[in-house]
Chains A and B, each alone.
Chain A
Amino acid sequence: QVQLQESGPRLVKPSETLFLTCAVSSYSISSGYYWGWIRQSPGKGLEWIGSMSSRGRTFYNPSLNSRVTISGDTSKNEFSLKMTSVTAADTAVYFCARQFCSTNVCSRPASVEYWGQGALVTVSS
């Protein structure tokens, strides 16, 4: 079964950059599917951040687009999230995920199939 595990600094200062990595086991990220990030602010619902295809095509939430970059490292079978200029509003549990493709040609991401356990990132000075 596919497993995903988030890692990275859990405390980030305001205006700095958040960086998280998702290590994937039992499936190669270059073989297919989409690989995404979703977050959940304390006591709130789920918010999609963005997704990357197995070929590196990316989609981002328009509300975060200018601050977010998702990229992959196939040699390590992991993918990463970079979010710049963070504020307290970015404090959340960040989940990485594997997502189905919405079409036969995998033109865009669909639902999450596998979730990571999540990583709480706090933005505070």
Chain B
Amino acid sequence: QVVLTQSPSASASLGGSVKLTCTLSSGHSSDTIAWHQQQAGKGPRFLMKLNSDGSHKKGDGIPDRFSGSSSGTERYLTISSLQTDDEADYYCQTWGTEIQVFGGGTRLTVL
């Protein structure tokens, strides 16, 4: 069964950029994932689907500041021109034959 690994926390400066990582377990380098953002006290919001070749499809209204890329079993979410409301938990998600899996999430702090 696939496992997704995320660092528990990250921080970056207001106006700067940050690259968050989601690592797929061995043998799953071709898998597609999704990134979701959850601001404090709110439900999650779908950001994008990210393929193994780095191509991605964003959700409705997601700004160009959010982009995705891939390398091997790693999937990245890059946020540029950081704003205060980018401070949130970010989760990756993938799916198998009959299972859905979420990573443990990364809490992003905007300094």
Contact indicator A116/B99 (Cβ below 8 Å):
no
Number of interface residues of A (CB under 8 A): 25
Contact indicator A48/B101 (Cβ below 8 Å):
yes
Contact indicator B44/A46 (Cβ below 8 Å):
yes
B68: interface (CB < 8 Å) = no
Given contacts A1-B60, A46-B102, A48-B100, contact A113 B46 (CB under 8 A): yes
Of residues 35 through 88 on chain A, the ones whose CB sits less than 8 Å from some CB of chain B are: 36, 38, 45-48, 51, 59, 61-62
Using Cβ atoms and an 8 Å threshold, which residues of chain A touch B101?
Answer: 48
Stretch at the interface among B13-21, B22-30, B72-80, B90-98: B90-98
Given contacts A1-B60, A111-B34, contact A47 B102 (CB under 8 A): yes
Inter-chain residue pair count (beta carbon < 8 A): 63
| Dominant SS among interface residues on chain A | strand
Using Cβ atoms and an 8 Å threshold, which residues of chain B touch A46?
Answer: 44, 91, 93, 102, 105
Q: Which listed residue, A45, A62, A112, A115, touches B99 by the CB 8 Å rule?
A: A62
Using Cβ atoms and an 8 Å threshold, which residues of chain B touch A59?
Answer: 98-99
Contact indicator B103/A102 (Cβ below 8 Å):
no
